[in-house]
Amino acid sequence: MQSIQILNVVKIFLPTALTFAIGILLTPTLTNLMYKHKLWKKKKRIDDSQITNEHFKNISNASAEISTPRVGGIIIWLSVTLSILIMWLISKAFPSDLSTKLDFLSRGQTLIPLASLLLGSFIGLFDDAAQIRGAVDRISDRYLKIISISAIGALIGAWFYFKLGITSVAIPFAGHLALGWLFIPFFIIVLVAVFSGSVIDGMDGLAGGVLAIIFASYSAIAYGKNLVDIAALSGVISGGILAFLWFNIPPARFYMGETGILGLLVVLTVIAFLTDTVFILPLIAFPLVATTASNIIQITSYKYFNKRRVFKIAPLHHHFHALGWPREKVVMRYWVVSVICAILGVVVALIS
């Protein structure tokens, strides 16, 4: 029994370390390609309705958008995919009890999340390409994203409902809520809500650090629920994000872009449903929730209350920056809050 537990722990940590190493090794070559082909926006974007003074407008990092590649998320999903493929190939080329045990590509637990990660990442990559070319404006891009996310949600939600027979969700300490066919639109709503957290991708290292912590917490939750393959996949994703984060510490060498944030938030939603913790996700991902809420509050107040601003600038992390906090302080405090929320979320998930 103890040897099985040790193998399960190795099954999680070994691929995680492997993914980090692969990401570190791939990044120099990928970075050279990004800069060689100038994979960044060709014009900067500043939303003047959100900026309250000329000083903050001048220190905004919007100008960096025209000189920093925006497809750094490729590092994450490519290193994750290669790590999974390597572990699978080893199990096939050198079959043994150990190699078979360490292979965590399974139809029941990890195939759907991996497919979701790649589907979201590829759609995000097309969106990044369109923005790099300047082929879409902000309004059109916003609607296209909503439509794309809804379509992904409908596809995955239908798979959960028809193929896996999942028709209910757990409410902590209160049992399960039966949804029937309404599970599919509920999945779409949750996915769109989770994706709204992409507004956190606005400071060097912010989104990467927060998401690495979130996926690490889901690795612990899945392990506690004896979903070891999902635990390994969550760990591997966290390892890929940490490799990205290594090069995203200020000054960032590239941004995550839609190919990173879209794929990660899609697979995060899928993992939350597979671990039956969708109602605990807001606690685990509270920094995403708070950042999204700040945007909604700011926009609502500005539009419907005589252009009144609740925050100096939204999203929330930019508000703290406008108050005079250095970017590094904002980012690291977000990380600290993320760790605390992740710990609380793991505890609730395992005792409820």
69 within 8 A of 31, measured Cβ to Cβ: yes
210 within 8 A of 260, measured Cβ to Cβ: no
Name residues whose C-beta falls within 8 Å of residue 10's C-beta, 6 or more positions apart in sequence: 102
102 within 8 A of 91, measured Cβ to Cβ: yes
84 within 8 A of 105, measured Cβ to Cβ: yes
4 pLDDT tier (thresholds 50, 70, 90): confident
Q: What is the percentage of the chain residues whose pLDDT exceeds 90?
A: 77
DSSP string, 168-226: EEEETTTEEEE-GGGHHHHHHHHHHHHHGGGGGTTSTTHHHHHHHHHHHHHHHHHHHTT
Helices (H) and strands (E) in the chain, counts: 14, 2
* Tokens representing residue 126 in the block: 């097309």
265 occurs within a structural domain: yes
140 pLDDT tier (thresholds 50, 70, 90): low
Name residues whose C-beta falls within 8 Å of residue 50's C-beta, 6 or more positions apart in sequence: 298, 309, 313, 314, 318
pLDDT score of 42: 64
22 occurs within a structural domain: yes
pTM: 0.93
The 10s digit of each residue's pLDDT in 184-232 is 999 999 999 999 999 998 799 999 999 999 999 999 999 999 999 999 9
127 occurs within a structural domain: yes
| Distance between CA atoms of residues 161 and 276, nearest Å | 14
240 occurs within a structural domain: yes
Number of domains in the chain: 1
229 occurs within a structural domain: yes
Q: Which of 240, 241, 345, 274 is nearest to 116 (CA)?
A: 274
Summarize the chain as % helix, strand, coil (round to 5).
75, 0, 25
Name residues whose C-beta falls within 8 Å of residue 341's C-beta, 6 or more positions apart in sequence: 283, 284, 285, 286, 287
∠ CA 20-22-26, nearest 5°, is: 120
25 occurs within a structural domain: yes
Average pLDDT of span 143-166: 93
| Distance between CA atoms of residues 180 and 162, nearest Å | 11
- Residue 161 has what DSSP assignment? I
| Distance between CA atoms of residues 329 and 316, nearest Å | 13
Name residues whose C-beta falls within 8 Å of residue 111's C-beta, 6 or more positions apart in sequence: 105
**Domain, as residue range, for 17:** 2-275
pLDDT score of 137: 61
329 occurs within a structural domain: no
Q: Is the pLDDT of residue 286 over 80?
A: yes
345 occurs within a structural domain: no
SS (H, E, C) 80-98: HHHHHHHHHHHHHHCCCHH
Whether the bond between 15 and the residue before it is cis, its omega within 30 degrees of 0, is no
pLDDT score of 134: 76
The 10s digit of each residue's pLDDT in 40-80 is 876 655 443 444 444 444 444 445 556 889 899 999 999 99
pLDDT score of 54: 40
